Amino acid sequence: MRKKIYECSECGFESPKWLGKCPQCESWNLFVEKNIGTLIKNRHKKIVNQPISIFESNNILEKSKRISTGVAEFDRVVGGGVIQGAAILIGGEPGIGKSTLVIQIAGLWAKNNGDVLYVHGEESFHQVRERAQRINAIQQNLFMSSSTDILEIIANIETNRYSLIIIDSIQSVSNPEINSLPGSITQVRECTYELVQKAKQLNIPMIIVGHITKEGYIAGPKVLEHIVDTVLYFEGEGKQSLRVLRAIKNRFGSTHEIGVFEMCCEGLKEITDPSAIFLQERPTGVSGSIVFPMIGGSRPLLVEIQSLVGKSRSPQPRRGVMGLNNQRVSLLIAILEKKAEIYLSDRDIFVNVAGGVFVEETAVDLPVVISMLSSFWDSPLGSDWIAFGEVGLAGEIRRVNSTRIRLNEITKFGFKTCIIPRIESSDLPEKSKNLRIISLDNIRELTQLFENREKSYE
Ligand code: TYD
Ligand code: MG
């Protein structure tokens, strides 16, 4: 017996009946019948994939050794190279540089490791070739295909033995047997599933490019996260040249590493010492700015936290947060009001991490609070000031991990004053002796610090 089910091809909402308007995304006339297959009648199936003892699995592990793509920053983010059969999805807004990154990888892989298939359904051959030429990726072993038909791509992969497959982008690939438009959620999901299955079966790594839009992630990587092994986001401020690659899911490594690139005329340049570049355009002597030593995976990174706190003209003050967790910032504002009696409810507040990095660590709490206070009182901090620490609900300033690593990075860049949670002086690294350390217990002490600075100006 076949059961019928209908699915919205825009957002994936499922319904047992056909609907004109989707209750989830409110689009019209996009419900299509979804084939959910026949119910299994015969439950006695032969075992095809015999379980293997974990003890005798060395030959399997051999298969999963890592291969370098030739782009060290990319290798770092995926966990030290690409694993055979791994499906990696790269998401990002249009124009951020995804195609540039993958053609660079394609060229280097073809040069060092073997045949690469690059499926460029999104752009014409000339466009891709012109780009490849500019960034020096023309290689004998790099094969280009303009196919957008998934069945043809699969046939190609099965016939020719490639050592890497790149699909740019998944939104341009479709299955003609599915009654849904290319780029729709149904097509994107089904095609990704087919491709990933094939990559696993043939044990070939695959890089899939997917667009995400500012408005929502519909038909983009969000719906594909559970199908692939690794999901990377490629981000950055459109007009600035800095680009950050980070993993938000990684079956083969941590999700804390970030890769930093600069977009130049010969493609993406790898930035091995990002702190210097993140601080490059930092203004001095302005209020609302302080530097935070974040831990981006295995290496520390210095990033600038900026705030703008101003009197609001509207009854509903505006709040804007970029590069940080929005709710966490709201929480910090609430803590400032309750525990330090700094009333911000009639202020427009904007907080930003310069350079397009996303900070997930709670150690950023203290610099965020400091930058907000600095802007609120219009009291600039010295350009050699830096801070890190978590802020608790009671207004207490709590210790965070990697204090030594952070302090070492700070001294490397010549910062002089550091605001941190209370800590034993024996815990401080040798190198930080020349730093003026201000350790605080709670945010009241922080507001006093600002008040005393004001006095010392008079
Ligand atoms: P692209 O890789 O096409 O972005 P995506 O695939 O994410 O849509 O790159 C987009 C921008 O990068 C484009 O505006 C031009 C710029 N760019 C450079 O600045 N230098 C280069 O060498 C290349 C190839 C692109
Ligand atoms: Mg592209």
Map residue 349 onto helix, strand or coil: strand
Domain end position, chosen among 245, 272, 299 = 272
Domain interval for residue 143: 68-272
Note whether 129 and 228 are same-domain residues: yes
Note whether 267 and 400 are same-domain residues: no
Among all ligands shown, which has an atom nearest to the Cα of 118?
Answer: 2
pLDDT given at position 2: 59
pLDDT given at position 62: 56
* pLDDT tens digits along 91-146: 988 889 999 999 999 999 999 999 999 999 989 999 999 999 999 999 999 999 99
Query: Is 47 within the bounds of a domain?
Result: no
Domain end position, chosen among 272, 298, 323 = 272
59: pLDDT confidence band, cut at 50, 70 and 90? Answer: low
Among all ligands shown, which has an atom nearest to the Cα of 122?
Answer: 2
Note whether 301 and 416 are same-domain residues: yes
Note whether 21 and 89 are same-domain residues: no
Q: Name the residue at shortest CA distance from atom 16 of ligand 1.
A: 97
Query: Is 414 within the bounds of a domain?
Result: yes
**At residue 158, does pLDDT exceed 60?**
yes
Note whether 342 and 447 are same-domain residues: yes
With tokens 């995926």, the residue in question is 78
**Segment of 2-6, 61-65, 225-229, 365-369 carrying the highest mean pLDDT:** 365-369
Distance 440 CA to ligand 2 centre (A): 48
Among all ligands shown, which has an atom nearest to the Cα of 167?
Answer: 2
Note whether 356 and 242 are same-domain residues: no
Note whether 198 and 245 are same-domain residues: yes
Query: Is 63 within the bounds of a domain?
Result: no
* pLDDT tens digits along 189-207: 899 999 999 999 999 999 9
Note whether 155 and 289 are same-domain residues: no
* Better pLDDT: 331 or 274: 331
Contact 240, 96 (CB under 8 A): no
Dihedral sign for Cα 167, 170, 172, 175, please: positive
Query: Is 213 within the bounds of a domain?
Result: yes
Q: Name the residue at shortest CA distance from atom 21 of ligand 1.
A: 267
Phi and psi for 175 in degrees, rounded to 5?
Answer: -110, 115
Nearest atom (ligand 1) to Cα of 234? 7
Q: What is the CATH number of the domain that holds 429?
A: 3.30.230.10
Query: Is 52 within the bounds of a domain?
Result: no
Domain end position, chosen among 239, 272, 305 = 272
pLDDT given at position 366: 97
Under the phi-then-psi rule, with left for phi > 0, alpha for psi from -120 to 50, and beta for the rest, what region is 268?
beta
Count of structural domains within the chain: 3
Best probe residue, ligand 1, of 122, 136, 233, 263 (max atoms within 8 Å of C-beta): 263
Query: Is 58 within the bounds of a domain?
Result: no
Query: Is 43 within the bounds of a domain?
Result: no
Q: Name the residue at shortest CA distance from atom 1 of ligand 1.
A: 97
pLDDT given at position 335: 96
pLDDT given at position 13: 84
- The answer to whether the CB of 129 is under 6 A from ligand 1 is no
Contact 163, 114 (CB under 8 A): yes
Strands 206-211 and 164-168: parallel
Note whether 312 and 353 are same-domain residues: yes
Contact 411, 432 (CB under 8 A): yes
215: pLDDT confidence band, cut at 50, 70 and 90? Answer: low
Note whether 248 and 394 are same-domain residues: no
Nearest to 406 by CA among 260, 294, 289, 279: 294
Note whether 287 and 262 are same-domain residues: no
Nearest atom (ligand 1) to Cα of 263? 19
Distance 95 CA to ligand 2 centre (A): 7
Q: What is the CATH number of the domain that holds 74?
A: 3.40.50.300
Of 53-57, 166-170, 178-182, the least confident: 53-57
Distance 99 CA to ligand 1 centre (A): 7
Note whether 298 and 210 are same-domain residues: no
Q: Residue 44: CB partners within 8 Å, gap ≥ 6?
A: none
Beta-bridge partner residues of 91: 210, 233
**At residue 224, does pLDDT exceed 70?**
yes
213: pLDDT confidence band, cut at 50, 70 and 90? Answer: low
Q: State the CB neighbour count (10 A cutoff) for residue 81.
A: 18
